[in-house]
Amino acid sequence: MINLERLGVFLPQGYLFKDVSLQINKGDKVGLVGKNGAGKSTLLRLLGGVNKPTEGKIHTVKGLTVGYLTQDIKIDTVQSVFEYLNNSNEVLTKLRDAIEYINHQLVTRTDYESEAYLNMLDELNDLNHNYNIIDGYSWEEKIETTLKGLGFSDTEIHNSLNTFSGGWKMRAELAKILVNNPDVILLDEPTNHLDIISIGWLESYLQKFEGAVIIISHDRLFLDNVTKRTLEISMSKIFDFPYAYTKYKELREEELERLQGAKKQQDKDIKHTEELINKFRAKKNKAAFAQSLIKKLEKTDRIEIEKDNVARMNITFPLSVQPGKWVLELSDLGKKYGEKVLFDSVNITVGRGEKIALLGPNGVGKSTLLKRILNVLEGPGSVTYGHNVNCTYFAQDQAEQLDPNKTIYETVDDVAKGEIRKDLRSILGAFLFSGEDIDKRVGVLSGGERTRLALCQLLLSPSNVLILDEPTNHLDILSKEVLKDALKNYEGTFIVVSHDREFLDGLTNRIWDIENKALKIHHFDVKEYLQKKMADSLLESKSLVNKKPIVQEKTKKATNEINPAKKELEKKIKQLESNIASIELQIKSMDEELAVLDYNNEDNAQQVLSNYDSKKGDLNHLMSEWEILTEQLFALED
């Protein structure tokens, strides 16, 4: 489907990557990984046709359609969410408008016997046929199912898109891509603005998707569940592994260990060669030998290693003071905005040492509940803190509240108390700040680096209860591992809101779930919670998924023709079924041929793909004809 030929991107500071040659085939599910700044988003922009490469070419099959979800979605429209998706397919829209126009003409005109009127009937029949072939009659149902899967309620889909936040606009854009069913889907951090339930739905959708998918994500579990191939951008190269993220990471670590040993030996050999050159280059009878050594050294392919720099150490953050047996008591707690009630009559006591995950879809009031617990927001009910409780809060925008003029070290040194201040450099190292990094000003840090620093500051602050609202946003996989390890070793109590299942797995011992304006408490783990939620969601949508689209035949009155030849219909249907079975066998054979197709031979590849598309078109045409004749047969039987 896509063939990269010696691709390269050059920036003023050097190459992001160069001389990249690889293929993306139909059905490939690819995870694109690499350190921040390695060029992941740049590569997606190239594949999406947004940017052009500095060097090389990108070859695609004729007519390839690509759906590209970027991190910087910009949508400015007064259309409702549903209208935005409903008008997103130009072919369907043109057919729908043409059908509506002719139907209107047929109803208002009275020249039933004229040739023009009969021609319109023929044209309408062709339009309906084409509309049915491309699933036009199930289009609206498909839109509603997709929007519901991504978290939109039945009422929200009819609200103007401009009334939604950037995160919800991203969901609408993702839905638009999915309903249009492109050949290739490119996703740049798709889970950033999805809740834990919507992520599960998207996973299931992509697993069944027949085209190619390329994903940039910091969600390890999402990559493991969706992808089967990993491309790593490192040291201006792209390494290709036929495995999902976790398996790739294990093999990559083993490979790096082997390279480390080889590099040590190579460095030793190079040093010895340089010593010989320095020793003999000044001697006349050894000058030629020295020159041969110099040439040999110049031709040496130096081994380069880019290794993850993660300090493997256990961090223990001491409590500010030991609290009593219970730390929080919520009595008849509630919150509403106008007529909209988020939650009501929440009564619960939180014991010392509890590790709580607060889950639920976006918009149900998770962040609001945290702010009510902190007494930041007013509302009915009360919150009582237990003996010696010292509560610290990490907001979603916590990283933006850091002083940009302070250094990394000063930022944590300001909050740390007691003996732990002696270990600040080691602790910063564990949060991926080492060496001269700690002297950088906060103002020059990236979003992910600021979030890491804010979390380190939080855990060093004197506390025994932590309230964390989406602490993993903007963190890469390694940083999330560091935070998870730190929280596992935390001796206090915490309540955390997060959509990252891998992060939550094994971290908490309670689940709070806001559902139907009440707080439900579960004692099973995150996996069991999600399985239950997905099962409930499938039951709710079962009737919608199984609903048979109704084709309105507005021209029956006008045509006033009934074909009584039931046997003739049955004969045609039987012949169609035989033809369909034959073409399906041919397509299956061609699928096997496509799996080993050499895309470098462009003429042959184009011919094979053209034949494949032609057979697919024939099959769709026969299937549509079969559906029409079958409906006519049923009508006669009735």
**Tokens at 45, concatenated:** 């922009």
Q: What is the pLDDT of residue 182?
A: 94
**Do 581 and 514 fall within a single domain?**
no
The rounded distance, in Å, linking the Cα atoms of 349 and 88 is 50
In-domain check, residue 215: no
What single-letter DSSP state applies at residue 52? Answer: -
In-domain check, residue 175: no
CA 196 to chain centre: 12
Domain end among 496, 523, 550? 523
Read off the CATH number of the domain in which 518 is found.
3.40.50.300
Domain end among 473, 495, 523? 523
Q: Report the chain's C-alpha Rg in angstroms.
A: 31
**Do 566 and 513 fall within a single domain?**
no
In-domain check, residue 536: no
Closest CA to 395 of 246, 496, 266: 496
Q: Write the single-letter amino acid at 175.
A: A
The rounded distance, in Å, linking the Cα atoms of 463 and 284 is 74
The rounded distance, in Å, linking the Cα atoms of 183 and 612 is 14
In-domain check, residue 300: no
C-alpha distances in Å from residue 614, one per residue of 40, 95, 152, 361 = 35, 22, 38, 43
Which stretches of 413-509 are assigned E, i.e. beta strand? 465-469, 493-497
**Do 516 and 418 fall within a single domain?**
yes
In-domain check, residue 201: no
pTM of the model: 0.70
Helix-helix angle 90-108:115-133, to 10 degrees: 150
Query: What's the domain range around 605?
Result: 562-637
The rounded distance, in Å, linking the Cα atoms of 5 and 18 is 10
Q: Write the single-letter amino acid at 516.
A: N
Q: What is the pLDDT of residue 617?
A: 73
* Pairing status of strand 465-469 against strand 493-497: parallel
**Do 350 and 491 fall within a single domain?**
yes
Give residues with Cβ within 8 angstroms of 449, minimum separation 6: 433
The rounded distance, in Å, linking the Cα atoms of 41 and 36 is 10
The structural domain count of the chain equals 2
What single-letter DSSP state applies at residue 114? Answer: S
**Do 343 and 462 fall within a single domain?**
yes
SS (H, E, C) 587-621: HHHHHHHHHCCCCCCHHHHHHHHHHHHHHHHHHHH
**Do 519 and 572 fall within a single domain?**
no
Q: What is the pLDDT of residue 538?
A: 60
**Do 490 and 593 fall within a single domain?**
no
Q: What is the pLDDT of residue 606?
A: 75
The rounded distance, in Å, linking the Cα atoms of 43 and 231 is 11
Give residues with Cβ within 8 angstroms of 371, minimum separation 6: 377
Report the half-sphere exposure of 102 (CA within 13 A, side-chain side).
Answer: 22
Q: Position of tokens 């907001």? A: 395
Closest CA to 366 of 519, 494, 525: 519
The rounded distance, in Å, linking the Cα atoms of 464 and 317 is 10
Closest CA to 61 of 602, 622, 462, 620: 602
In-domain check, residue 573: yes
**Do 408 and 497 fall within a single domain?**
yes
Dihedral sign (CA 58, 64, 65, 67):
negative
Q: Is the distance from CB of 43 to CB of 15 less than 8 angstroms? A: no
Closest CA to 297 of 322, 269, 278, 317: 269
Task: Provide DSSP, 24-46.
Answer: E-TT-EEEEE-STTSSHHHHHHH
* Pairing status of strand 212-216 against strand 184-188: parallel
Q: Is the distance from CB of 488 to CB of 334 less than 8 angstroms? A: no
In-domain check, residue 401: yes
The rounded distance, in Å, linking the Cα atoms of 203 and 346 is 33
In-domain check, residue 291: no
The rounded distance, in Å, linking the Cα atoms of 31 and 191 is 13
**Do 496 and 578 fall within a single domain?**
no
**Do 509 and 610 fall within a single domain?**
no
**Do 500 and 569 fall within a single domain?**
no
Domain end among 475, 503, 523? 523
Closest CA to 333 of 291, 399, 381: 381
Helix (H, G, I), strand (E, B) or coil at 327: strand
**Do 490 and 619 fall within a single domain?**
no
Q: Is the distance from CB of 68 to CB of 76 less than 8 angstroms? A: no
Give residues with Cβ within 8 angstroms of 188, minimum separation 6: 40, 41, 44, 69, 70, 71, 216
C-alpha distances in Å from residue 494, one per residue of 490, 587, 599 = 9, 56, 54
Q: Could you report the average pLDDT of every consecutive run of 10 residues in the chain (638 residues)?
A: 89 84 93 85 91 91 92 85 92 89 84 83 86 85 92 90 87 94 94 87 93 93 94 90 91 82 83 81 75 81 65 62 90 88 91 91 87 91 92 87 91 84 83 84 84 86 89 82 87 91 89 89 82 68 47 38 58 78 77 67 75 76 75 63
